[in-house]
Amino acid sequence: MARATTASKLAGQLRGDLDAITLKALQRDPRDRYSGAENLADELQRHLTGVPIQARLAHPLYLLSRFALRHRSGITTAAIVALIVALVLGFALTRGS
C-alpha cells in the first residue's frame, strides 16, 4: 500500500517533539530521564494527541502551535467568519461614501 507522504515530509513530522522525547529518554543522568515507562508512555500520548510535551520548554510559540494543531477547524472557521465580516464592512463603507 502506498503512503500519502514523502520521506522528507515524514522526517519533518518526526522532528521536534519526538526528538525531544528521545533525547530526554537517553539522558546520561537518570534524574534527567523519565522516571519510568509509564511517564514515557504518557509523554508519547501527549505527543499523539497534540498536547504540549513536558520534554520541551513551554515557549509561547510552541504552545500556540500545539493549540492550532488541536483546533484546526475552529481556527479555520473563525478566520473565514472574520474575512467575511471584513469584506462586508469594507463593502458597506465604500458604498456609504
Same domain, 52 and 62: no
Same domain, 22 and 10: yes
User: What are 28-56's pLDDT values in tens digits?
Assistant: 999 999 999 999 999 999 999 989 999 98
pLDDT(1) > 50 = no
Higher pLDDT, 16 or 37: 37
Other C-beta atoms within 10 Å of 55: how many? 20
Number of domains in the chain: 2
Same domain, 32 and 78: no
Range of the domain at 50: 1-56
Q: How far is 69 from 57, CA to CA, in rounded Å?
A: 18
Q: What mean pLDDT value characterizes the chain?
A: 89
Same domain, 52 and 78: no
Same domain, 21 and 50: yes
Amino acid of residue 89: L
Other C-beta atoms within 10 Å of 36: how many? 9
Same domain, 8 and 52: yes
Q: How far is 37 from 43, CA to CA, in rounded Å?
A: 10
pLDDT(2) > 90 = no
* Claim: this prediction has a pTM higher than 0.85: no
